[in-house]
Structure 1
Amino acid sequence: MGRLEGKVAIVTGAGSGFGAGISTAFAAEGCRVLVCDINEVGGKATAKTNPLLLSFHKMDVTKAVDWKATMDMAMQQFGKVDILVNNAGTSYRNKQTVEVTEEEFQKTFDVNVKGVYLGCNAWIPQAIDRKEGGVIINIASVGATRPRPGLVWYNASKGAVWNATKGLASEYGPHQIRVNSICPLVTGTGLFSHFTGMEDTPENRQKFIFNVPMGRIGEVDDVSSACVFMASSEAKFITGVNLEVDGGRCI
């Protein structure tokens, strides 16, 4: 028996990076997963890794109509959704704040904050109706609590997720719905340059990790393993927590 045997999850942004890793890790623990992404190629590739438990559904997390279609499909296909992982996220490239365009600002908040808002609104009613509780996991960032120059509005968007996680946990705890967030350090998912503003070289990685006690950047399975734990019954009394998965960076 897997740690998530018999459970059903929706994972957004599951066509690559954390989302793909979370989806495959959940499936390895017996969970059926609706792999959701606006990127059809990436999403289908993730689903193909375990076609018995992973199903792809194309969606845009910033559209309420897409969330309704996603929940309708999940309910028709599985009859329930126990776990929601709000992983889809975006950012502009690290640069001076006054150079961030209004379009970049809007897209960052639409995906990172509005996407979580719409996802929770779509998922929570069926969880309440089923009276069996459930789990929401939001993917935030170490930047939510330790912001640094160059990604001010990205960090602010993740700060909103960090705050909302605690508020949701308080509001829906009486329904046995647990809400937690994972706050990762930058990982080697191809976005090192995007987030740090430096070319991804061994020398630049050393510059970035000088204040990381464990001496490295993150890895996808650091995050996916934390998500498996938070989604499982092992974390049945943990809610409202923003878990820093950062090798000690935020100490």
Structure 2
Amino acid sequence: MSRLSEKVVIITGAANGMGETFARLFIKEGAKVVLTDIEVKKGQKVAEELGENAIFIKHDVTNKEDWQVVVDKAENTFGPITGLVNNAGTAGKIVPLEEVTDEDFYKIFNLNAYSVFKGMQTVVKSMKKANGGGSIVNMSSTSGIVGSRNLIPYIASKFAIRGMTKVAALELAESNIRVNSVHPGGIATERAVIFDEVKKATPQGRAGEPEEVAYLVLHLISDESTFTTGSEYIVDGGFTAQ
């Protein structure tokens, strides 16, 4: 049996990168997938390639009205939502603390962290309708585990995701809704800039592949992880073990 049979999963930031990889794997494993992104042409193309069990919805994850539209369309198309992967985000500029503007801080924090809060909040009602509850996976980063110079808005947002995940897991456990965070290190997506220094600093000596993250997220969305909630999963080739 497919690992995600009868699952209805929303994936944000799914037009490319890790989000696209998640969507393709989830379709192979039997899920019905709702891809969302602000990149309309690319997102529509991916959804078309995935077939009748996938739809694309244009979605600004910082807009609460957009979130309600996505949840309503997903439920009306496929039924109650059983999975949400909060994947959309950005790294922003590399800027010293003293030079970070309020505008830059709030732009990155809203896209990376507020979007996760609003996504979790909006999807709960639908997940409570689903037999067996649901699973939320919040994509953070190793930057939600350890600090890094000149990235304070990004680091703040990724630590916030880690904390919100634990709070939501506690609140939603009685509704059989699980919430976990995933913390990738250097992953070789089309948008990533993987510096030689990062590779050298990683014990495995290489960047990770999107599929290496995708199979972990698949496990967390599936019924294989029904006693797992409030946890953080690091996929970094050993970087944070040092």
Q: TM-score, normalised by structure 1?
A: 0.91
Name the CA distance, whole Å, in 1 between partners of 2:58 and 2:202: 37
Match of 1:160 in 2: 160
- Point out the more displaced range, 108-117 or 97-106: 97-106
Cα distance in 2 for partners of 1:94, 1:187 equals 18
* Counterpart residue number, 1:103: 103
Give the match for residue 16 of structure 1: 16
Match of 1:244 in 2: 234
Question: What is the CA-CA distance between 1:131 and the residue it aligns to?
Answer: 5.4
Asked if the contact 1:131–1:175 (Cα under 8 Å) also holds between the matched residues in 2, the reply is no
Residue equivalent to 2:203: 213
Matches within 5 A, 1:27-176: 27-130=27-130, 132-176=132-176
Shift of 1:222: 1.3
Note if 1:228 corresponds to 2:212.
no
Contact 2:3–2:30 at 8 Å: present in 1 too? yes
Is the contact between residue 186 and residue 198 of structure 2 (CA under 8 Å) also seen in structure 1? Answer: no
Q: Distance in 2 between matches of 1:69 and 1:219?
A: 32
**Secondary structure in 1 matching 2:50:** coil
Per-residue CA shift, 1:171-227, capped at 9, x if unaligned? Answer: 11111111011100122224444xxxxxx5xxx42x222231111112111111111
* Conserved? CA contact 1:105–1:153, under 8 Å: yes
Per-residue deviation, 1:54: 1.5
Does the 8 Å CA contact 1:116/1:138 hold for their aligned counterparts?
yes
Report the RMSD for the aligned CA atoms in angstroms.
1.4
Superposed CA offset, 1:14-42 (max 9, x none): 01111111111111100010110111022
- Which is worse superposed, 103-112 or 2-11? 103-112
Query: Does the Cα contact within 8 Å between 2:12 and 2:37 map onto a contact in 1?
Result: yes
Would the aligned equivalents of 2:59 and 2:66 in 1 still touch at CA under 8 Å?
yes
CA positional deviation for 1:97: 2.6
Q: Which runs of 5+ in 1 are unaligned?
A: 194-199
Amino acid at match of 1:69: V
Instruction: Give % identity.
Output: 35
* Code of the aligned partner of 2:141: S
Structure 1 192/76 Cα, relative in aligned 2: closer, same or farther at 3 Å? Answer: closer
How many residues were matched structurally?
241
One-letter amino acid of the counterpart of residue 224, structure 1: A
CA-to-aligned-CA distance 1:142-191 (integer Å, 9 cap, x gap): 01111111212201100000011111111111111110111001222244
Specify the SS of the correspondent of 1:243.
Answer: strand
Q: Does 1:185 align with 2:175?
A: no
Map 1:193-208 to 2 at 5 A: 193=193, 204-205=195-196, 207-208=197-198
List alignment gaps of at least 5 residues for structure 2.
none
* Whole-Å separation in 2 of the counterparts to 1:249 and 1:86: 23
Report how far residue 91 of structure 1 moved.
2.3
Q: Helix, strand or coil: the match of 2:3? A: coil
Aligned to 1:61, the other structure's residue is in SS state coil
AA at the equivalent of 2:201: N
Q: TM-score normalized by structure 2?
A: 0.95
Shift in alpha-carbon separation, 1:190–1:101, aligned structure 2, 3 A? farther
The CA deviation at 1:56 is 0.6
